Structure 1
Amino acid sequence: MKTLYIVRHAKSSWEYEGIKDIDRPLNKRGINNAYLISSVLNKKIACPDVFVSSCANRALHTAMIFSYTFNYPLTNLKISKSLYSFSDGYLIKTVKALDDGFDSAIIFSHDHGISDFVNKFGSEELDHVPTCGVVGIKFNTNHWKNIKDGNTFITEFPKHYK
């Protein structure tokens, strides 16, 4: 059994002119939501075996907040340049390439890739995964490369707590 948690990065700031998209930071709401949702999740699940984040500042900052909440060592956080993509292709490749020694993983990435991924591999149709939304999917396989037809068992969105 493999368990995957997909997190869309928290709300980012657009207030800085001239900053590259990859460098956009989280805004205050995003930081607060990342602490909120990571705390909610930490009460419901065991710490995932591996944390993997897009290299974009907003995704990385979200991953760092979740790492802090779960007491996951930042030195073990894996950063993936290929996750800085807005299609599900790189997300699928990243998940299927995970080491089979990890039974659970949490990945921090971007929409539209996340919404496409959870609808393709999960059992629950979701119109849109909002910023700092988390979707958990279980797969009945021992190998990440064989994931298909998963069971969506968690959807945690900030709006559920406001």
Structure 2
Amino acid sequence: MKTIYIVRHAKSSWKYEGVSDIDRPLKQRGIHDAHLMSKYLAKKMDRPDVFISSVANRALHTSVIFCQNFNYPFSNLQIKKELYSFSDGYLVKTVKALDDSFNSAIIFSHDHGINTFVNKFGSKPIAHVTTCGVIGIRFDEKHWKNIKKGKTILAEFPKNLK
């Protein structure tokens, strides 16, 4: 069995002029939501075997907060520039390329790719993954490269915890 957790980065700020999209920081609300979600999930589920983040500042900051609250070593956090994409193509490639020694993984990425991925591979239709939303999908497979349709085992959003 393989389990993937997909996290949409927390709420980012648009207030800084001249900051490129990849460098946009989290808003205070985003920081709060990332702590809220990660503390809640750290009590509810086992820590994933590997944490992987998009290179974008907002995704990276979200992943660092999750690492902290899951007690996952920052030095083991994998950062992939390919995940800074707004289609599910790189997300699918990243998941299917995971080392089979990992039975679970958590990936921090972006809006459109996540929505497409969770609806393509999960069993529960999800209209929109909000910022800092976390979707878990379990696959009855031994190898990541073979994943097809899985079972949605988690759909959690910050608004449900407030």
TM-score range, shorter chain: over 0.9
Percent of aligned positions with the same letter in both sequences? 69
Structure 1 counterpart of 2:3 = 3
**By how many angstroms is 1:125 displaced?**
0.2
Structure 1 counterpart of 2:90 = 90
Gap runs ≥5 in structure 2: none
**By how many angstroms is 1:159 displaced?**
0.8
After superposition, residues 98-109 of structure 1 pair within 5 angstroms as 98-109=98-109
Letter in 2 for 1:102: F
1:57 is the counterpart of 2:63:
no
SS at match of 1:112: helix
Q: Aligned partners of 1:28 and 1:151: how far apart in 2? A: 33
Letter in 1 for 2:158: P
Letter in 1 for 2:7: V
Q: Aligned partners of 2:59 and 2:51: how far apart in 1? A: 12
Letter in 2 for 1:116: T
Q: Aligned partners of 1:156 and 1:117: how far apart in 2? A: 16
Aligned length: 162
**By how many angstroms is 1:40 displaced?**
1.0
**By how many angstroms is 1:28 displaced?**
0.2
**By how many angstroms is 1:149 displaced?**
1.1
After superposition, residues 98-137 of structure 1 pair within 5 angstroms as 98-137=98-137
* TM-align CA RMSD: 0.4
Q: Aligned partners of 1:40 and 1:19: how far apart in 2? A: 32
Letter in 2 for 1:108: F
